[in-house]
Amino acid sequence: MTGLGRATAPLDAADLVVVGAGVVGLGAALRAADAGLDVVVVERDAAALGASVRNFGHGCVTAQDGEALRLARATRELWVRLAREAGFWLAESGAVVAARHDDEMAVLADLAAARADEVALLDGAAVEEAAGCPGAVGGARLSSDVRVSPREAVPALAALLARRGVRFHWRTAVVGVDERGVETSRGRVDAARQVVAVGHDVDLLDAGLAEEAGVVRCALRMLRVRDPRRAPSPAAAGGRALPALLTGWSLLRYDAFAVSPALGAVRERLARERPDALAVGLHLMCTQRPDGDLVVGDTHAYGDAPSPFRPEDLDDLLLDEVAALLGTDRPRVVERWEGVYASAPRPFLLSAPRPSTRVVSVTAGIGMTTGLGLAAEAVDQLAS
């Protein structure tokens, strides 16, 4: 049956079917294939085009805490393994947080005291040397962070899985899930176990489940720019990539920084000095691509219906902030895009509507950091 109820031949049959070919769906397919299961992935688009290819590619491991830190460490191990097996670019270059105010430095000092094994304090000169960011009062190096180039890594991971026998049905939308498999726009896939990994679109398959978990959409503005400092690309620097560059805004976003009693002062100062940036959810950060361009962002707009109309002043704000951070003129924009991820009060959704089905989504902006680990846990639950 198709979604319109037209009779068709069954499309496929497997031990486990995965809905969605983003990083979470591919992580589930990987775990199931590693366990020796016959796996089918069904993806609505002709390729993975969602959040998983639109992000910074930043495995922001060190700044996580609790369950997210545990999943981030598991995911980091998988990224390193997969980069080797699938042959995509991965930089174990860590991240540098540039502190441009003393209160930010105080937060970093508290984190360094709590996590001396992976957080090292830097002075301003060391921040400039490591990350090409002048004028910081100091900073910290977060050594466990890793980075991939998502638009290359995600298709490479799908290709690796296909070589290992996972079957992909692209341009095929799942319209229903039951205990024996899934109904799709091309006919039925029979599989006794089902993993639903559709990111923020979980409400389109089960509105009640999404509403119970408080899942909404978060839309982000992103830019790819020419590096105005002309820092050598990783290829030109013998493979050495610049660390991901985080800022005081990052302290408000990642849980590990909550260890610091000084965080309140940072929040209050930013609210006082930059209500304009706070109102658009600015999180100023920047990552170097393998070709030397920078991915810079971002802004955040939460709700059920992100506006399709994109005011240019958001990009102006981002470009001014990047120029101030790097101590340069405004960089030249090469590409602009928007991405959407799932957001909810809790960072992870792992739901079992029936024994054979797991619905899994990273409901915070940390799916590249934690998604492979979370997906593995979903599959392990089904296996047990």
Ligand X SMILES: Cc1cc2nc3c(=O)[nH]c(=O)nc-3n(C[C@H](O)[C@H](O)[C@H](O)COP(=O)(O)OP(=O)(O)OC[C@H]3O[C@@H](n4cnc5c(N)ncnc54)[C@H](O)[C@@H]3O)c2cc1C
Among 15, 38, 45, 255, binds ligand X (CB under 6 A): 45
Q: Does 52 bind ligand X (CB under 6 A)?
A: yes
Nearest-approach distance from CB 161 to ligand X, in angstroms: 14
Among 371, 373, 376, 379, binds ligand X (CB under 6 A): 371
d(CA 142, CA 152) in angstroms, rounded, equals 24
The torsion angles phi and psi of 331, rounded to 5 degrees, stand at -75, 160
Q: Which stretch in 187-195, 253-261, 263-271, 336-344 sits in contact with ligand X by CB under 6 A? A: 336-344
| Residue closest to ligand X, measured at CB | 367
Give every CB contact of residue 77 below 8 A, 6+ residues apart in sequence.
Answer: none
Nearest-approach distance from CB 137 to ligand X, in angstroms: 25
d(CA 65, CA 155) in angstroms, rounded, equals 29
Q: Which two tokens stand for residue 155?
A: 């298709």
Closer to ligand X by Cβ: residue 246 or 262: 246
Closer to ligand X by Cβ: residue 9 or 46: 46
Tell me if 378 sits within 8 A of 358, measured CB to CB.
yes
User: Which residues, 266 to 305, sit near ligand X by CB under 6 A?
Assistant: 298
User: Which residues, 115 to 154, sit near ligand X by CB under 6 A?
Assistant: none
Closer to ligand X by Cβ: residue 132 or 297: 297
Q: Does 51 bind ligand X (CB under 6 A)?
A: yes
Count residues contacting ligand X (CB under 6 A)?
A: 42
d(CA 154, CA 150) in angstroms, rounded, equals 6
DSSP 144: T
Among 14, 33, 37, 54, binds ligand X (CB under 6 A): 54
Nearest-approach distance from CB 247 to ligand X, in angstroms: 14
Q: Does 50 bind ligand X (CB under 6 A)?
A: yes
Among 14, 32, 44, 128, binds ligand X (CB under 6 A): 44
Q: Does 379 bind ligand X (CB under 6 A)?
A: no
Mapping DSSP to helix (H, G, I), strand (E, B) and coil, where does residue 146 land?
Answer: strand
The greatest distance separating any two alpha carbons of the chain, rounded to the nearest whole angstrom, comes to: 68
Q: Which two tokens stand for residue 366?
A: 């940390």
Give kind and range of the element (H or E) at residue 210.
Answer: helix 207-213
Nearest-approach distance from CB 42 to ligand X, in angstroms: 5
| Region for 10 from its dihedrals, namely left if φ exceeds 0, alpha if ψ lies in -120 to 50, beta otherwise | beta
Q: Does 76 bind ligand X (CB under 6 A)?
A: no
Q: Does 94 bind ligand X (CB under 6 A)?
A: no
Tell me if 297 sits within 8 A of 222, measured CB to CB.
yes
Write down the number of H helices and E strands in the chain.
13, 19
Mapping DSSP to helix (H, G, I), strand (E, B) and coil, where does residue 263 land?
Answer: helix
Nearest-approach distance from CB 232 to ligand X, in angstroms: 22
d(CA 209, CA 360) in angstroms, rounded, equals 11
Q: Does 25 bind ligand X (CB under 6 A)?
A: yes
Contact track, ligand X, 221-260, x by CB under 6 A: -x--------------------------------------
Compute CA 220 distance to the chain's CA centroid, rounded to the nearest angstrom: 12
User: Which residues, 351 to 370, sit near ligand X by CB under 6 A?
Assistant: 361-362, 365-369
Tell me if 97 sits within 8 A of 140, measured CB to CB.
yes
Among 108, 131, 173, 246, binds ligand X (CB under 6 A): 173
d(CA 252, CA 180) in angstroms, rounded, equals 44
User: Which residues, 180 to 199, sit near ligand X by CB under 6 A?
Assistant: 197-199
Pairing status of strand 167-169 against strand 39-42: parallel
Interface contacts to ligand X, rule CB under 6 A: 19-25, 42-45, 48, 50-52, 54-58, 60, 173-174, 197-199, 201, 205, 220, 222, 298, 339-341, 361-362, 365-369, 371
